[in-house]
Structure 1
C-alpha cells in the first residue's frame, strides 16, 4: 500500500515542480503560455506591469512549499502529532487545489455559455477548460491520494521505512 502512495507523492512533487516552474518562467519575463490564462493577468503581462512580477515570484515559492509538504510524507517521523499535522495540511491543500480548479471550470463554462459575463477571450476560455482548470484538479487529486491511507489505519513505522 505504501508503494502506491509513494507513486502519488512523487507524481505530486513533479506536478508541483512543473507548476512552480511555470511561475518562475513567467516571473522572469517569459510569455509562452500567458495568453492561455487570459483576463487581467494576460493584460498585466502584456503591459509588463511591474506589480505582477513579485506576485508571480511569490506564487512560485508558495507552490514550492507544496513540494516540502509532499516530501514530508517520505520521512519516517518519530512524532506522530507532527505527521498528523502534515497530513491534515496536505489534505486541505489537495481539497483547495481541486475545488479551485473545479469551481473555476464551472464558472468559465457558464461564461462560455453566455450565462456569466467574463473578460476572457475564446482562446483563453478554451485553454482554461481543457488545460488549466483540469491541471489544478489533477494536483488536488494527487495531493489527496498521497495521504489517502494515512487516516487512523496507518502502517507501522517499520512498514513505512521499508
Structure 2
C-alpha cells in the first residue's frame, strides 16, 4: 500500500492551518460561516488565541504527524497511535456535528448551517479518513497478515 496518504494528511492539515492563521491575522472571509457571526465580529481574545492560533498550530502538528506517517521507517507504534487518535478525533467531530445540525440541535444561521454541512464537516471527515489511511498504509506485509515473497515487490 502506498505511503502517500501521509502526505495527503499533511497537506490537509497545512491547508487547514493556513485558513486558521489567515483568520488569526485578521482575515474574515468564511469566518462567520465557520464560527458564527458573533464570534467573527467580536473576536474575543480566548477565541483568537485558542480557536484560531491554537487550532492553526495544532494543524501544523498534524501536518508533521502526516509527514511522519508517510515514512516507512516511521517512529513505530506511538506514531500509529497518534495517527489513529487524529483520525478518530476528526471523524467524531465531523460526523457528530453533522448529525447535530441535521437533527436541528444548534441554533445557528442558515448560512452557517449550509457551510457547516457542505464544507466544514466534510472537511473534518476527509481529514479523519486521510489520517486513518495514512496509518493503515504504514503496515508491513507481516503486520497485515501477508508474507512477502522474493521478487514480489512486497514491502518496497
TM bin (shorter chain): 0.7 to 0.9
Aligned match for 2:57, one of 51, 61, 64: 61
Q: CA deviation at 1:76?
A: 4.7
Normalising by structure 1, we get a TM-score of: 0.80
- Residues 38 and 121 in structure 1, CA contact (< 8 A), matched pair in contact too: no
Alpha-carbon distance in 2 for matches of 1:66, 1:143: 9
- Residues 23 and 59 in structure 1, CA contact (< 8 A), matched pair in contact too: yes
Q: CA deviation at 1:51?
A: 2.7
Normalising by structure 2, we get a TM-score of: 0.83
Unaligned runs of 5+ in 2: none
1:26-47 deviations in Å (ceiling 9; x for gaps):
10010000121143xx312202
**For residue 112 of structure 2, what is the aligned residue in structure 1?**
124
Alignment of 1:133-148 (within 5 A): 133-148=121-136
Alpha-carbon distance in 1 for matches of 2:136, 2:62: 16
**For residue 69 of structure 2, what is the aligned residue in structure 1?**
73
1:29 aligns to what SS in structure 2?
Answer: coil
Give the alignment's Cα RMSD to 1 decimal. 2.3
Unaligned runs of 5+ in 1: none
Alpha-carbon distance in 2 for matches of 1:135, 1:143: 12
Alpha-carbon distance in 1 for matches of 2:120, 2:70: 28
Alpha-carbon distance in 2 for matches of 1:37, 1:74: 30
